[in-house]
Structures are given as structure tokens and as C-alpha cells.
Amino acid sequence: MNDKPKILIVDDKIENLIAIEKLLSDFNVDFIRSLSGNEGLVNTFLHDFALAIIDIQMPEMDGYETVEFMRQEDRTKFLPVIFVSAIYKDDFYVIKGIETGAVDLISKPIQPEILRGKVKVFLDLYMQKRELERMNAELKIAKDKAEAATHTKSIFLASMSHEIRTPLNGIIGMANIFKNTQLTAEQKEYLDIINISGNNLLSIINDILDFSKIESGQVELESITFNLRKDIDDIIKLLSLKAQEKRLALKTEISPVVPLFLRGDSLRLKQIIINLLNNAIKFTPSGTVTLKIGKLDQKTRKQAISKKHVKLIFRVIDTGIGISEEGKKRLFKVFSQTESSTSRKYGGTGLGLAISKNLSKMMNGEIGVESEEGKGSKFWFTAEFEVSEGSLEEIEDKIEKEQHGKETLNILLVEDNVINQKVALFNLHKLGHQVDVAENGKIALSLFKKNKYDLILMDVLMPVMNGIEATHKIREYETRHDVEKPIQIIAMTANALKGERERMIAEGMDEYISKPFKPEDLLKMLRMA
């Protein structure tokens, strides 16, 4: 294959074409001769040129007209053209040549060094352009391979999560139901072991799926009013037992200038704090773990924040084993532990800090660590929130409405798995809601037509009629009967494939919740009704 650059030379006299070829004979190029403007245009369709050298004065079609036609075609719109002329030497013709689309005009008789110098510049540019095109082609191949690998990873994660989460939903759900029955001390101990093991497994699965969702841009932050101090108290209650088992003091210090009521995603905020506190407790053999919360102002972080917004800094300080300089370099990276032995000794996926970093960034913040081996660690992160305004009664009423919605909802649960039915019914009844159950989409459609529901929790994979088909038929029924307010339909599935939420919404559903779900995830969905 001939890979040499090609130069188009156009002149109505053959001797002039030969003369140009001789002047440029030591350039490693192929010359394509044309004895007229028309022939030159035809050649531009047959070859890819690095440069064109065109005589201006030619019969039938002169050089100006030839270039004007070339500039109308995409393949030659930006082809460098050097005009040569024996008679058109004045500035008027030079300017006209440039306006026509040429890059230069050389007078005849041609001075060899001038022509050679200009040709060399454009050949160098052409070779650089070809190299860039080659690199771009290689980058595209690499990008396509990376996207294919990402897609394969997403399919694998979705498939595995579906297969694991479906039975796990039954295990954790039934264990929670069992806890509400009369138990002997021995049974309670065994049940606690089941719960701890099940929740540890769920935590690992959720870490992997959470990171996958954040990585693919599927996570959107919620905006609700919440009581920061109450949320912190809940976190401390949750983790105090784990701290007590190791005889650690678990403390909190909240600056008095930190607003009590904020607006933002409290669940994701708690996720970061719990992750950092969990790590601190895990890696602290004795001593203290302290959570400090303060307020950043413009002097601290040269960052303009309006009166309606506040940036907070959260510090988790421990007296634990500390982190080496090498270990700090591996923090906040995917599937990374500070030391190779850490995952074996302490467990975990190594994803928690990577997730926390991404969530903090989504809250217009950042995350970092200060630590010395053997002398404990101080992890910190910042996050921005809206300050909730109004009287104490107004804000608390707002929180109640936003976090719990209506007191009692009339819900249609569409689920074919008997164990999953029991789990969902237990959680919904515990929240005080009325629930009808349909074993498949066909029964759900019939019940929907007969009764008035506030919300439908719709499983996707079911026999007889699946959730998507049932949703289509419900939406068709609403359209035919001019229903003013379509019913909220929430997809319930153990499938966590990238884009699953978008697919469910495209099929006519309003939201998506993955199984097994936490009570707070269910509450979030119920607030939609």
C-alpha cells in the first residue's frame, strides 16, 4: 500500500508540471498531474491530497474558478492551495487569491527555495494531521473496548445482584418478622446472628451497586427538610452498641452556629457519616471516636455561599491504628484497602470511601484525611445544604409531611413471590398502610379497575402478565377514561442493571426501588403518593 502524501499540480503546460516535480524531487511524495482546472477537480475526487499547486492563468477554467469549486466540496474545503502565476503579481491579485481560498501566491519564474520551504510546512502539517487521525482512531477503539467492558460489568453486577438479592430479601425480611414474635433467649441469639450476617452481606452488595450507580450517573440527590441533630442522634444510637463492644467512647460535638434544620439529602449524608464512623470504630482498638460538626464561612473557604445556604464540615477523629503515607495514597480508590492485610483482618469491600468521596462531591464538597501511623486518624468531609427557614412548629410539620407523607395509604402490592409478599406486607402494615395483594399483573389490573388506590408497588418479573405489560394496560385504561391524576406506579425488582430506572420510567412507571429495600427506601417511595 502506497502511503506517501500526494500533491496535486495543475497547469495547462506540461513543461511547467515537470519543472515543479523536478524542484520537489527529493520530497517523498507522489505528484498527480492535471492539465486543466476540470481535470484537477476530477482528481480531487479520486485522491486524498496534502497540498495543491495551481496555476492561475489557464484556458476554459482559470485557477481562481478551480479553487472556488474545490471550496464547495467537503473533502477539499480546507485543502491548502498555493497559486503560481507569471503575470498576476500585483497585491490586488494576491489578495484575490487569498479571498478565493489559497494560502499563498508565488510568482514565476519560481524561486526553488521559496516553493520548497512552503511545501515543507504544509507537508509537515499534513503528516501531523494524519498522526492525529491515527491516534484518534486508536483512542476510539480503546474507548469502544472500555465501554464494552463497562457494559459487561454492568450486566454481570445486575445478574449477580438479582440472583443474590431475591433470596436475601426473603432472609432479612423473614428474620425481621420473626423478631416480632415470642422468642427464647437462645432463639433470639441465633436470630441476631442471622440478621448480622444478612445485613453484612447486603451491605457488601449495596456498596458494589451503589458505586456502579454513582459511576454511571444514576444517583440523584434528594432535597427534603431534616433535623441534623436528630439524624446524628440516630446514627450514634445505631453505632453505640458496636462501640460499647470494644469499650470505645463514641462522642459528638456540634458547633452552636450549625443550623438545626437543613434541606438536602439526609440519607446520603448519613451514609457518609456512618461509613466514616464505622471505619473509625473498626480500626480503633481502644480509646475514643469523636464526630465534630462545624460551619465553614467565606474566610475559611474562599467560596461565596448565600445566606440561604451553608457549608458544613464533618470531622471523624479516632485514636486508632492510623494510616501510613503509602496507605493514604490508596484511600478513596475503588476496591482499595490501606494495606494488603486489611481486608483479611477487618473485612469490607474497599468501596465505602470511594462512594463517600463521590457523594461529598455531589453535595458541592470534598473529602480528605490527616493521619499518622500508630497515632490515630482524622477523616473530614464538607457538604453544602440549604438552611430551612420558618418557625419550629412550621419546620417540624414540614418534616413530618415530607418524610412520612399521608398517614394511611391504600396500596396495591403486585408480587408473585410468597416470601416477598410477606416481607412487603409486614413493612407496609408496620407503617400503618392498607394493602391489597395481587399475584400477577392480570389480577392487579382487575383490582385497579374495581378499587381506588393511592399507590401501586409493581414487581416486574411475574407469570401470566408481567409488571411492564400491566403498567401499559393501566396507563391505557387511564387514557381511555380521562383520569385526571394517574396513579403512582413504583417498580419493584432485584434487577440493578445500569439504566433500569430509566427503562422503567420509559415504560410508564413513576419510580424504581430495588429489592431488598431498607425501610427508609420504602418511606422515600411512599412519600410520592
Looking at residues 214-237, what average pLDDT do you find? 80
pLDDT average, residue stretch 9-38: 91
Mean pLDDT of the chain: 82
pLDDT at position 495 over 70: no
| Residues forming a β-bridge with 254 | 293
**Residue 303: pLDDT over 50:** no
Tell me which of 202 and 331 has the higher pLDDT: 331
User: In what helix (H) or strand (E) does residue 291 lie, and over which residues does it extend?
Assistant: strand 288-296
Q: What is the mean pLDDT of residues 168-197?
A: 79
Q: Residue 522 has what pLDDT?
A: 74
| Lowest mean pLDDT, pick from 89-103, 210-224, 353-367, 492-506 | 210-224
Does the pLDDT of residue 62 top 80, yes or no? yes
Q: Is the pLDDT of residue 341 over 50?
A: no
Q: Which residues contact 208 (CB under 8 A, 6 or more apart)?
A: 157, 161, 349, 351
Statement: residue 116 has pLDDT above 50: yes
pLDDT at 369: 92
| Runs of H (alpha helix) within 83-227 | 91-100, 112-179, 185-215
pLDDT exceeds 50 at position 36: yes
**Crossing angle for the helix pair 185-215 and 112-179, nearest 10 degrees?**
160
SS3 state at 479: helix
The predicted pLDDT at position 325 comes to: 82
Give the model confidence (pLDDT) of 309-324 as tens digits: 899 999 999 999 888 8
Q: Is the pLDDT assigned to residue 217 strictly greater than 80?
A: no
Supply the pLDDT for residue 335.
47
Look at residue 93 and tell me whether its pLDDT is greater than 90: no
Cβ contact 377:370 at 8 Å: yes
Half-sphere exposure of 64 (CA within 13 A, CB side): 11
Task: Say whether pLDDT at 188 is over 60.
Answer: yes
Helices within 27-111 (DSSP H only): 37-46, 63-70, 91-100
pLDDT in tens, 138-161: 888 888 888 777 667 666 666 666
Say yes or no to pLDDT of 168 above 60. yes
Q: Determine if the peptide bond prior to 259 is cis (ω within 30°).
A: no
Residue 301 confidence class, pLDDT cut points 50, 70, 90? very low
Q: Is the pLDDT of residue 467 over 50?
A: yes
Q: Which residue has the higher pLDDT, 342 or 434?
A: 434
pLDDT band at 464 (very low <50, low <70, confident <90, very high): very high
Contact call for residues 43 and 19 (beta carbons, < 8 A): no
Of 183-192, 401-410, 435-444, the one with minimum mean pLDDT is 401-410
Nearest C-alpha neighbor of 489 from the set 502, 471, 501 = 471
Q: What pLDDT is stored for residue 307 in this prediction?
A: 61
Residue 347 binned pLDDT confidence (cut-offs 50, 70, 90) = very low
With cut-offs at 50, 70 and 90, classify the pLDDT of residue 30.
very high
Q: How far apart are CA 371 and CA 386, in angstroms?
A: 31
What pLDDT is attached to residue 346? Answer: 45
Predicted confidence band at 397 (pLDDT cuts at 50, 70, 90)? Answer: low
